[in-house]
Amino acid sequence: MTNPAADRDNDSPPSASQPALVANRPFRFWPILVLSALIWVCRQVPSVFPNSNVAGFMVMAIGPFFCGVLMIVWWLFFSHETGKTKWLGVLAIVGIGVACNFLADKSMQGFGLFMFTFPWAFTAFGVAMALLSQARPEARARGAVLATSLPFLAMLPLRTEGVRGNMKADISWRWTPTQSQQIVERLKKLGPAAATEAPSEWRPEGPVVWGEFRGPHRDGKSAGVALDPDWERHPPKELWRRPMGPGWGSVIVVGDRLFTQEQRGEEEMVVAYQADTGAQIWIHADKVHFYEKISGSGPRATPTYHDGKLYTMGAAGVVDCLDAASGELIWTRNLSEDSGAKPPMWGFSSSPLVAGDVVLVHAGGMEAPGGDAATKQAKKGLVAYDTATGAVKWTAPAGDHGYSSPQLVPPGVDGGAPRVLLLTNSGLSAHDLETGTVLWSNLWTTEMYRVVQPVSLGDGNFLVGTPMGGGTRRIEVTAAVGGYTVEELWTTNAMKPYFNDYVEHKGFLYGFDGDLFACVDLETGKRMWKKGRYGNGQVVLLPDGDQLIVQAENGEVVLLAADPKSHRELGKLRALDKKTWNHPVVVGDRLYVRNGDEGVCYELALAGGKRVPEAAVNADADAAATERNETQSSPTTTE
């Protein structure tokens, strides 16, 4: 007499006398359930470990796919499954996946497949196998194919507009208008009243206090402002709110005008608004639509104002010089052609820097069309255009990828003349303004993209930020005979910025360590505190009030005390409703914030009911203007 239990555990082929018994043998499914659970462990890496390094990101993005492959391998070779139905099932799953990827919206193809579809498809496969463990092999194969097909089919009607800092996707129906298309329709509804006539002779009155990315020194500090800390009694007052197209740059405020860049439909726009009302004054359009699957559509850089002109960089590499009064095009260049580098993964993101008679942009592209990509990019990472004509004045080596913007260093900071700082994957380098020659550098290579601005602490001390667990380094540069010496003072993991810039105040550094806000002692590199979960946001310092304005990723604006002893929230405001990666701007008693959907202006209550001391604001603007005047030198040589 046979023992059924023994037959179920026997790995040998079934005999002719017991076909029914072996055909219904329970399927050993526990390894597939373990792999299904492991898929979601991989997916949670960015949330549980927001400061994880490159390996952590790869585990989240690629881990679920490899878990799925292991499921298939187990089914085919180690599950004790009999018959050829399993091979037909695998072929059917692969065929359905390939077909659905081909038919899906472009935002869901390729990388989107790995990020959004594979985790659900392979989890469904594992669950189906477990539920059908007692079924016949043919039924199990059919069930696995059906279950796995559902997530693939579910991706067909969907589209993603990108992801948030924790890699959670913003999903919509593919037949609905995209964000950039929605803006066009919303602006049509505003009607002609949304625009005003552009005075051809317009010029700002007084010094320009916020005419470029992160302010006059690119350090995120707004001088002469101290806010009333009681936002419950004196909350910010909304002055205007209006649609703005997708774009991850900030705004600049020049006199009574505000300038920014947006995507509207298939056109990349530079837009001028009335700072007090939000009314549109003029637009300049380029027939460009840059899109990628993580950040979505739109330009990434912030315009730069100088001497009546506006300098802009588009995500696809269009560099424009515009008349700030009318928006008329003065000259245009293509950075991809001039540098030999195609747009990098997240697009050209460098905010132009005017220094003397040149405007500088960082190419940051990793590959070049044709020829030796590495050689071309090494020679032309930093490009200097003539401010008047757009002619290429010089090019210089500057790493082979990165998203940081050039930054002017005042004379004497490192013992020398004014120069340009640039942070790339290779580290921090200082370039001569006349030729682009590298004067000194701190080599600190990384696989990832450096995005944040370097911080100048004075006396030749600088901070270098590195994402994905790299941390922050403080270096000291001193003039020496025949050149410079560069010394590393400390490197800390207490502050690990990704694309979230930090600010320095009274010997302490305030910024984002992953998705938590933190304070670090600049003398030692040790963390003072870490608290406040604001996602991947941005920050502006109000040094006169010892205050911080934090723009949270979820759209909230938070007023913090710049206090190294503790994390103290003074006020909170729900300013925007959607993902916000853009830098906030504070000019006087006005707060300007925007994201890829809308922009809004608030009037802020000042401490003691006082007005902003114009002398302090103007002094900061005048100092920045003096720095630029001192960069004027003999004509530079053309390459």
Q: Does position 580 have pLDDT exceeding 70, yes or no?
A: yes
Strand bridging mode 503-505 / 508-513: antiparallel
Under the banding of pLDDT at 50, 70 and 90, the label for residue 242 is: very high
Residue pair 453/472 in contact by the 8 Å Cβ criterion: no
Q: Does position 631 have pLDDT exceeding 60, yes or no?
A: no
d(CA 496, CA 51): 7
Mean pLDDT for the stretch of residues 550-577 = 96
How many other CB atoms sit within 10 Å of the CB of residue 568? 14
Q: Does position 8 have pLDDT exceeding 60, yes or no?
A: no
- Stretch (H or E) spanning 60: helix 54-73
CATH 2.130.10.10 fits 179-630, yes or no: yes
d(CA 377, CA 626): 33
Strand bridging mode 461-466 / 407-409: unpaired
Under the banding of pLDDT at 50, 70 and 90, the label for residue 599 is: very high
Q: Does position 139 have pLDDT exceeding 90, yes or no?
A: no
Mean residue pLDDT of the chain comes to: 85
Mean pLDDT for the stretch of residues 612-630 = 58
Q: Does position 421 have pLDDT exceeding 50, yes or no?
A: yes
Q: What pLDDT shows up at residue 39?
A: 87
Residues in CB range of 629: below 8 A, 6 or more apart: none
Could you tell me the sign of the dihedral formed by the alpha carbons of 165, 169, 171, 174, in that order?
Answer: positive
pLDDT top residue among 90 and 310: 310
pLDDT top residue among 123 and 114: 123
Segment among 80-84, 300-304, 631-635 with least mean pLDDT = 631-635
Mean pLDDT for the stretch of residues 442-466 = 88
pLDDT top residue among 475 and 610: 475
Its pTM stands at: 0.86
Under the banding of pLDDT at 50, 70 and 90, the label for residue 345 is: confident
Under the banding of pLDDT at 50, 70 and 90, the label for residue 11 is: very low
Under the banding of pLDDT at 50, 70 and 90, the label for residue 294 is: confident
Q: Does position 17 have pLDDT exceeding 70, yes or no?
A: no
Q: What pLDDT shows up at residue 551?
A: 97
Q: What are the start-end ranges of the E strands in 522-584?
A: 527-533, 538-542, 547-551, 556-561, 569-574
Under the banding of pLDDT at 50, 70 and 90, the label for residue 322 is: very high
d(CA 435, CA 384): 9
pLDDT top residue among 639 and 283: 283
pLDDT top residue among 119 and 169: 119
Q: What pLDDT shows up at residue 85?
A: 85
Under the banding of pLDDT at 50, 70 and 90, the label for residue 253 is: very high
Q: 3-class SS at 206?
A: coil
- Stretch (H or E) spanning 359: strand 358-362
Q: Does position 633 have pLDDT exceeding 80, yes or no?
A: no
Q: Which of the residue ranges 65-79, 201-215, 351-365, 547-561 has the most confident prediction, judged by mean pLDDT?
A: 547-561
pLDDT top residue among 298 and 166: 298
Residue pair 120/151 in contact by the 8 Å Cβ criterion: yes
pLDDT top residue among 396 and 8: 396
Under the banding of pLDDT at 50, 70 and 90, the label for residue 20 is: very low
Altogether, the residues listed in the chain come to a count of: 639
Q: Does position 372 have pLDDT exceeding 80, yes or no?
A: no
Q: In the chain, what are the domain boundaries?
A: 27-173, 179-630
Q: Does position 470 have pLDDT exceeding 70, yes or no?
A: yes
Q: Does position 135 have pLDDT exceeding 50, yes or no?
A: yes
pLDDT top residue among 243 and 412: 243
pLDDT top residue among 540 and 50: 540
pLDDT top residue among 1 and 335: 335
Mean pLDDT for the stretch of residues 607-624 = 61
Q: What pLDDT shows up at residue 109?
A: 84
Mean pLDDT for the stretch of residues 327-354 = 92
Q: Does position 436 have pLDDT exceeding 70, yes or no?
A: yes
User: What is the widest separation between alpha-carbon atoms in the chain?
Assistant: 105
Each residue's pLDDT tens digit, 167-208? 677 788 989 888 888 888 888 877 655 556 777 789 888 889
Segment among 291-295, 371-375, 386-390, 620-624 with least mean pLDDT = 371-375
d(CA 223, CA 216): 10
Q: Does position 229 have pLDDT exceeding 70, yes or no?
A: yes
Under the banding of pLDDT at 50, 70 and 90, the label for residue 416 is: low
Q: Which of the residue ranges 110-119, 187-196, 287-296, 516-525 has the most confident prediction, judged by mean pLDDT?
A: 516-525
Could you tell me the sign of the dihedral formed by the alpha carbons of 569, 571, 577, 583, in that order?
Answer: negative
Q: What pLDDT shows up at residue 179?
A: 82
Segment among 328-332, 480-484, 495-499 with least mean pLDDT = 480-484
Q: What pLDDT shows up at residue 449?
A: 81
- Cα 255 to chain centroid distance, Å, stands at 29
Residues in CB range of 317: below 8 A, 6 or more apart: 334, 335, 336, 337, 343, 348
